[in-house]
Every structure is written in C-alpha cells, then in structure tokens.
Amino acid sequence: MRALLPYLTLYKRHKWMLTLGIVLAIVTLLASIGLLTLSGWFLSASAVVGVTGIYSFNYMLPAAGVRGAAITRTAGRYFERLVSHDATFRVLQHLRIYTFSKLLPLSPAGLSRYGQGELLNRVVADVDTLDHLYLRVLSPLVGAFVVIMVVTLGLSVLDFTLAITLGGIMLLTLFILPPLFYQAGKSTGQSLTHLRGQYRQQLTSWLQGQAELTIFGASERYRAQMEATELQWHEAQRRQSELTALSQAVMLLVGALAVIMMLWMASGGVGGNTQPGALIALFVFCALAAFEALAPVTGAFQHLGQVIASALRITELTEQQPEVTFPAAGSPVPEQITLTLRDVSFSYPGQAQKALDTLSLQATPGEHIAILGRTGCGKSTLLQLLTRAWDPQNGEILINEQPIATLSEATLRQSVSVVPQRVHLFSATLRDNLLLAAPHASDDALAAMLCRVGLDKLLEDDGLNAWLGEGGRQLSGGELRRLAIARALLHDAPLMLLDEPTEGLDATTESQMLELIGDVMRNKTVLMVTHRLRGLSHFDQIIVMDNGQIIEQGNHADLLARQGRYYQFKQRL
C-alpha cells in the first residue's frame, strides 16, 4: 500500500472535484435506496389499505417521494460520472506529466536497460491502471461506508434493533469481504500487470523487427513465444473473472441472508408495533437496495493488486537518480569552442572493459578532426560523453577551459550540433522536422538548406508541408543522412559532432557533403567519426583509436608517412 502514497498526493490538486464526485455518488446511492425502499413500502401500504381505504390513505406524498428519488438518482448518476471522470482524467494528466518529467533526466543512461515496448507500456498502460484507485477503490468504499451510516441512522428512527442488525451485517461485509478478495486476487492482479507489459513488449519488438525475423526464418518461433505469453495473460484474466464472479455470488448470498433476517425480525414487530404491516416491506426492500449499493465493494480490492503492481513499476522508473545532472544557472553560448579532454576514462555499467581509457584530446576553434577505428573502439562513446549522455568516471572534459558539467543543459544543447548514427524523424511535416534545429528559421532559409544538401526534390508537390510519416519511411537512407546534416547545419552551433554522416551516400554525394560541412563550419570545431577514408586529406587532424585509446594522431600526410594503422587502412582500399 505504501507504493500508492506518492500518487495519492497527486489527488490533492483536484481534491474538491474528487470530493464532489464522491458526494454525488453517495447522493445517487441514497436516492436509489430511497426509491426502492419507498416504492416497496408504498405498494405494500396501498395493498394493505385496499380499495375501501383509498380515500383515507395519503398517496400523494409517497408518490412525490418516488418521483423525486427517481429524478435525483438519474441526475446524480449523470453528474457523478461527469465530475468523477473529469477529475480522474485531470489526475491522470498530471500523473503522465509527472512520470514523463521524471523520465527525461534519465535518458539515455537510466533508460538503456529498458526496451521501447516496456517503457511505452509503463508510461501508458500502467499510468492508466492507476485510475482504478479512485473509480474502483476509493469512491466505492467511501460511498458504501457513508451509505451504511445513513441507512442505519435512518432506520433506527423506526426500529433500533433492526437498524443495528442490518448496519452491522453491512459493516462486516464492508470490512471483511474486500480484504479477503484482495488477498485472493493479489497474485492474479500482479500477473496481469506483468504479463500485459511482457506481451506488449514482445509485440512491439515483433512489429519493429518483422523484416529481420522473416529473413532469418524466426518469425514463426517468435510468434509462438508471443502466443504462449498471450495464453498466460488470458489465463490470468480468466482467474480474475472467476474471482469477480465468486465475489458477486458471495455478496448476493450475504444480501439474501440479510433480507431473510430482516423479513423474519420485522415480522415479529417494528418499533414495538406487533402489527407492522407495510413496514416489513420497507425494511426488506431497504436491505435489498442497500446490498445493491455494496455490490462494487467486493470487486474493488481485486483491482488493487493491479494498481499496486503498476505503481511499483512506475516508481521503479521515477525513483532512479539521473546519471547526469545539469546546473540550473545558465551561461551565454560561446561563439567559438576549444575542446579539451584530459585522461578521460569511461566504462558502461556492468562492463569491466573500458570503452575509453585515459584518452586525451584537444580541438581548437576552426579545427576539423576525423576519428577512425574499428567497431567498438570507443568512437561513438566519445561523442556521447561530449553531449553528456554519460559522464566519465575519470578525467575531465573542458569547453573553453570550463568543465562541461558546469554548463546548463540549454547552453550545452545550443553549443553543440549532432548528426547521430541513427537519424530520427517525427511523424510530422518536413518543416516541423527542420524547425527542431532552428525554431525561428524562415521557410526560405529551410528551403535553401535543403537545396544545399541536394534535397531540393523534397520541395516538389507539397514543399515544406510534405508529410514525412513515422521515421520518414518514404525517404532513402541517404536522404535521411542528408536531412540530418541539413538539420545540424541549421542549428549553427560552434561545435559539430558527426557520427558516420556519409554512411549510405554514393561517392559523389559524400564528397559534396564533406565540402559543404567544411565550408559552413570553416571557423567552427568539428569532430567526425567515420569508417570511410574519402576526403580525410582536408581534415586538420586524423585520430586512429583502438581499445578506447588514441594510437595514432596527425594529419593525412604525416600518418601515411608513418605507415602505421592509418596507412594500413588506406592500403586496403
């Protein structure tokens, strides 16, 4: 239950609307009980009076009460649903914002061990599950308790013993059955939450990897794994449905016993009157209606297992401490950058081997540096440290002799342009995807940059309003690369980091892109990770890395003269 405390505090933001929803629920329940009770008494009293006593019987007042209770129940139910759901949606809105605000500082280090499907399931499905806490747990329980108190006090005016008996049975039902069924359904609720997350994670992976699964003949095997998880999920749903049916049956049984007891006790007299007449029907129908109001109570705690499991899964994410923290105070963005790395060492969590090992490097304003090396030698890790996706365990990274950790996040992001290995485009227009880099750029500036990177054909037809779709699927790999370069150049930062920027480009286009980068970034600092050796003669420095260390460093001519690793690379062309 402690897992729910952080989320209950979010309810304070809308406590008045949530309270109003509970009040309306109580009014609706009382109107429903009053309607059935008054109707039962009215019909019974009319039958007892008979035709001969119709003129002496005041049927106007109870008839008006029945109509009033019916109207109150209908209006109360409508406004209760309206208010309760509106308040719940507002709570969920704040909960989603709260959860997402906690996730953002964790990216990418704190989220690297979670799959995309798992994260999506926790942020969406698990957060949605928490609305059960109010709609199916708090509101029914509070409403039932208040109704029991009101019904008991109301009936005690007619007969204290009968009122206390009915109220006691209802209170025992309220305090015994929900915890009992909570314990019975706790493991099932937890299984439902975990199996739902597991299935959706597998489904997301299957959808994303359909091509690879089909090519390597693993699609059927993976689908069989999904179907096995789905069967377990269905089995958990079946167990919960059976438990729900059992709880309803127990509630009906207890209610029927209470009605029989009221009938037996009331037939012996009500309030000292040994000839109670229609009052017997009043107590019987009141017991029937009261237990109908208690019907959601037994199932309320069944959902609590799912709610707690979802809360724990969300808390597991949100209570993580970010690997990287930024100072709040901002600083001006420098016009030029001198980048210095001194004895930087870094290893990924859970890995003994260092990705970078006492690496030192300096890049001055206007200097362009190419970084080469075999896969896994630490090239991309170096760029991630420069964007503070991670922080090194040892050594220091300086920008203009100032530790990079002292820069605010806004300053660092404005100081660095990045072309990552994996280019992501949003399902939006071409304009929207470019404005991410330069929010205030005009359409003419965007179109001009597209032309400079050779993507002027994208401006045909819809122009900047062209819809790119999820991930820009209609674009080729080379077009995605050039769009990423255009976005980085629009950002116009003093430091540019490029990770395989010419991958997927033909030789002519590759040379054009390298010339464009060299021209636009002439007075700015550039670090480019690459496996391709074309155009490296124009770079001021070439660095060859291996096992997280720099093993060769110099310009194109110097490295060829040494006949070392760079020379070997050139010989293999």
Answer yes or no: is 242 within a domain.
yes
Whether residue 308 is found in the same domain as residue 426: no
Tell me whether residue 324 is in a domain: no
Residue 373 CB neighbour total at 10 angstroms: 24
Q: Do residues 294 and 144 lie in contact, with contact meaning Cβ atoms separated by under 8 Å? A: yes
Give pTM, 2 decimals. 0.71
Q: What's the burial of 554, exposed, middle or buried (CB within 10 Å: 0-12/13-18/19+)? A: middle
End-of-domain residue from the set 318, 347, 377:
318
Q: Is residue 15 part of a domain?
A: yes
Measured CA to CA in angstroms, residue 28 lies from 25, 69, 106, 161, 445 at distances of 5, 9, 46, 26, 62
- Identify whether residues 392 and 466 lie together within a single domain: yes
| Structure confidence at residue 231 (pLDDT) | 93
In a domain, 350, yes or no: yes
Task: Look up the CATH number of the domain holding residue 489.
Answer: 3.40.50.300
Say which amino acid occupies 23: V
pLDDT digits (tens, 9 = 90+) for 321-333: 887 888 887 678 7
Do residues 398 and 310 both lie within one domain? no
Range of the domain at 284: 2-318
The list of the chain residues with pLDDT below 50 reads none
In a domain, 480, yes or no: yes
Domain boundary among 286, 318, 350: 318
pLDDT at residue 555, as a whole number: 86
Q: Do both 152 and 29 map to the same domain?
A: yes
With a CB cutoff of 8 Å and minimum separation 6, the contacts of 289 are 32, 33, 35, 36, 37
pLDDT value at residue 78: 92
Query: Which residue type sits at 26?
Result: I
User: Are residues 271 and 378 part of one domain?
Assistant: no
Task: Check residue 93 and give its pLDDT.
Answer: 84
> Could you read off the pLDDT of 242-266 as tens digits, one per residue?
888 888 888 889 888 988 988 888 8
Task: Specify the pLDDT at position 472.
Answer: 64
What's the pLDDT score for residue 471?
63
Q: Are the C-beta atoms of residues 552 and 370 closer than 8 Å to each other? A: no
